[in-house]
Structure 1
């Protein structure tokens, strides 16, 4: 037991070291000012602590992430920090509602090309957001990135992002003051600063944060902020539950998606109340936690406590951290977020998936993240419906009926066409079914055997009724045979609301008897 607790403490301390530079960088990126460093730290502290305490994924670490930061940046730019905190609290409330309504399991139905596309788009946004710092001091940004990449290969006892933060800070304080203003002339770009002025974060308050009670009594304000809150809530849910799946694969356990959403919601409410950035399940920090022995909420809670201790004890140290170093960390983070496999596998991936991925990525960068996700899911659903409608439904014309004698079979084949339909009848398959039947028979009686149909939606029901009307208008008689109970009831329900021609639903033996009797009656009429 003591050994388990020791490992949890050790993992929590390690994750805090990993989270520190990322929290600083995401906070500054979200606000666009050095003061945002504390904003990001409070997000890691409070969202991280309460999401771990109430969440449903063992060992998962919550804090500011790239996707959340991108959306939060737009919210802060539009409404300011004070109202952004209200948005984070509202987002938390929405996430709790999603969890209580047990909607967490639906995230798994988001297609991979959509997830890949919006993650690639977010990565681009993060990188493009640092261009101002690159323009001001490209040398310090580049050196920070180089330190991160080299330390990732050669230094194993310390997170590479922290090594980059320390290295960039030392360079900014010790060497770069003598290089300030150094510029070169580059064709087309004219004068380009290699080492311009250096901006530092500055000291952060070494005090416990105070509660911010939001003005949630104004209905007009709530309606204004609601779209932004929904965006952060849904994005945070997607981000967190995707991380939960990664954690399941590593630990061999199963997370509780609905409980995780409730925990994320409580965490974001707490973060907003204490003046922090919204958060979500962070994959890298969670993996670091697991690999260092963290298996419970204890390690993630300890990570938050350690960050709070660092804020209270070493707040003045941030005065020497350069903004360019944080830009370097964010650019590396953005590069690591790219789904490289989505580009490597383009030659072998279905064109429809490539189209969805690229479209989602472009819309994420050019328009809006949630718009991109919505359009990506809608197009994926339509493409799937078309593909499944073409391949998932089989319409077969039956010629041999083993249960009847030869003379009866001959009579039925001369006067009727029997079609067996297998697969779901829904909006994506109706055209194929109708075309297969109408264009392949001139017989007077048509039997549709539906024993292979287990599902029919509203479009499918209307399609069958329209098919009945078209065939009846040509003087043909239609029989529905061997229908599943649920499918039969749905067809009867729509017929009761919008009656067409006579609705005949018979077991297949009775359907054959009807054909034989009708055929004999026609034969008698012809003789007379």
Structure 2
């Protein structure tokens, strides 16, 4: 009961107002994303309503907004062009199934492998993309549009000094709409983006053959949509966690996204995922609970179906001002200042993530590059933490090597090169009590060292193996297996 109250009733007024602001900002984006995907605007609008509404109940992150997104729309273009809307609806349903499976496999826990530098780069790149997405509304526009955007930004940033009772983005939208209507300004409006639906969504089954050929067509698209959708949702959840100083259930979020996309496919919508821009708008406007997400979805549907004539008159300049505010608020400005102070590897990871995302407009590719670079730098750094010292004992007949550090694929070569195989000596003792062997490459390096010493007729004793390393040696080492040693020495 405590959790129920916290998620739904602890912040009713702010959640409802924040949901209204988000709904207004969602409308032109949903239409734009539909156009990108090559489908009717109502497909994106129905998707945004359905996904937001379902995620309010099924999602793992209260206060996060999920809907139709540009990242997902870009992946649908070829499928829609070659096979049409019905195959897209089928792909959306399969996307949801794959995401539910990912949640059951607890793949949400993989987020712990995404470094802070990657998240910062992801956030900064998304802020840049949000700003760039507003350029078509500004480039070549009249001075009136620039004046309206400037006025909108002034209201958004200055109104909170007068009152915080109402979200300033909502005030900006209402004031600029009234101003445009009152003065009869000839500027682009939401209605110019495309026709708004005039009816509620209905349940339908995709009209596609239920055979392996259909599966062959939609599975690659669905798999890509599932991965990109979950990746963007997990990253957004982590960002909202930080903004609200709270935690979220990433695995529940995976399942929730799946349920939402399945529902969406049966209601004539396109696949979607979490939206960092709208989530930031929600949080900045005071939204914290699941009620804000539910309100966004319901207000969106009510406005486009029952108040479409009024919504169509909202000037795009007002929504551009809101999205510029989101872009400015999303960008981590401290990360620019910290470029010189942070380790070079962290800065490189952050910048690489930003560059790849902005260049490709593909969040998944940017995050993948960032994660790979983080792994490379980490392996290199840990690989350097390996020290091997030696001492002569028993009047020079025995040499003891003491290994300290981590032995794995990145440090295996350094491990082998640290031993003097040319020294004429009776016995070598390798003390690994302060070392750990992590992988097959490390075990292979140990094999190589032992075999090389034995080739010089030197007795070798390995001491101090910890339990985990000992298990690896017992399973994969060959230096105690005569047949394998002969084969190794032959190579």
Structure 2 residue 196 is the aligned partner of structure 1 residue 204: yes
Q: Rate the CA distance shift 1:394–1:142 in 2: closer, same or farther, 3 A.
A: farther
* Distance across 1 between alignment mates of 2:217 and 2:209: 12
For structure 1, which segment, 464-473 or 259-268, has the greater mean C-alpha deviation from structure 2 after superposition? 464-473
- The aligned counterpart of 1:321 is 314
- The aligned counterpart of 1:500 is 485
- The aligned counterpart of 2:340 is 347
Structure 2 residue 283 is the aligned partner of structure 1 residue 280: no
Structure 2 residue 146 is the aligned partner of structure 1 residue 137: no
Q: Rate the CA distance shift 1:52–1:39 in 2: closer, same or farther, 3 A.
A: same
Structure 2 residue 355 is the aligned partner of structure 1 residue 362: yes
Contact 1:24–1:38 (Cα < 8 Å) also in 2: no
How far off is 1:49 after superposition? 1.9
Contact 1:72–1:232 (Cα < 8 Å) also in 2: no
* Distance across 2 between alignment mates of 1:467 and 1:244: 48
* Counterpart among 61, 78, 89 of residue 64 in structure 2: 61
- The aligned counterpart of 2:430 is 448
* Counterpart among 389, 414, 433 of residue 383 in structure 2: 389
Structure 2 residue 428 is the aligned partner of structure 1 residue 427: no
* Distance across 1 between alignment mates of 2:325 and 2:77: 24
* Distance across 1 between alignment mates of 2:167 and 2:310: 19
Structure 2 residue 340 is the aligned partner of structure 1 residue 334: no
Deviations 1:102-124 (A, max 9, x none): 11111121122223333333333
- SS of the equivalent of 1:427 reads coil
Contact 1:95–1:264 (Cα < 8 Å) also in 2: yes
Q: Rate the CA distance shift 1:386–1:445 in 2: closer, same or farther, 3 A.
A: same
- The aligned counterpart of 1:127 is 131
Q: Counterparts in 2 of 1:282-321, with a 5 A limit?
A: 282=276, 285=279, 288=282, 292=286, 294-295=288-289, 297-321=290-314
- The aligned counterpart of 2:368 is 374
Higher Cα Rg, which structure: 1
Q: Rate the CA distance shift 1:325–1:217 in 2: closer, same or farther, 3 A.
A: farther
Q: Rate the CA distance shift 1:99–1:25 in 2: closer, same or farther, 3 A.
A: same
- SS of the equivalent of 1:15 reads helix
Contact 2:282–2:292 (Cα < 8 Å) also in 1: no
* Distance across 1 between alignment mates of 2:420 and 2:384: 17
Structure 2 residue 255 is the aligned partner of structure 1 residue 262: yes
- The aligned counterpart of 2:49 is 45
Deviations 1:428-473 (A, max 9, x none): 2212222222389664422111222344211111111122233333
Q: Counterparts in 2 of 1:471-510, with a 5 A limit?
A: 471-496=453-478, 499-500=484-485
- SS of the equivalent of 1:348 reads coil
- The aligned counterpart of 2:92 is 88
Q: Rate the CA distance shift 1:264–1:225 in 2: closer, same or farther, 3 A.
A: same
Q: Rate the CA distance shift 1:166–1:450 in 2: closer, same or farther, 3 A.
A: same
- The aligned counterpart of 1:463 is 445
- The aligned counterpart of 2:117 is 113
- The aligned counterpart of 2:71 is 70
Work out the number of aligned pairs and report it: 471
Deviations 1:133-160 (A, max 9, x none): 3234253543343233212223234334
Q: Rate the CA distance shift 1:112–1:213 in 2: closer, same or farther, 3 A.
A: farther
- The aligned counterpart of 2:173 is 165
* Distance across 2 between alignment mates of 1:280 and 1:6: 23
* Distance across 1 between alignment mates of 2:41 and 2:288: 27
Q: Rate the CA distance shift 1:287–1:148 in 2: closer, same or farther, 3 A.
A: closer
Structure 2 residue 233 is the aligned partner of structure 1 residue 240: yes
- SS of the equivalent of 2:111 reads helix
* Distance across 2 between alignment mates of 1:197 and 1:339: 31
Q: Rate the CA distance shift 1:7–1:61 in 2: closer, same or farther, 3 A.
A: same
- The aligned counterpart of 1:512 is none
User: Structure 2 length as normaliser, TM-score?
Assistant: 0.82
Q: Rate the CA distance shift 1:298–1:90 in 2: closer, same or farther, 3 A.
A: same
Q: Rate the CA distance shift 1:154–1:107 in 2: closer, same or farther, 3 A.
A: same
Root mean square deviation of aligned Cα: 3.7
Contact 1:26–1:64 (Cα < 8 Å) also in 2: no
* Distance across 2 between alignment mates of 1:451 and 1:366: 49
* Distance across 1 between alignment mates of 2:380 and 2:336: 25
- The aligned counterpart of 1:213 is 205
Contact 2:390–2:402 (Cα < 8 Å) also in 1: yes
How far off is 1:46 after superposition? 1.5
Contact 1:29–1:36 (Cα < 8 Å) also in 2: no
Q: Counterparts in 2 of 1:7-46, with a 5 A limit?
A: 7-32=10-35, 38-46=42-50
Q: Rate the CA distance shift 1:286–1:119 in 2: closer, same or farther, 3 A.
A: closer
Segments of 5+ residues of structure 2 without an aligned counterpart are: none
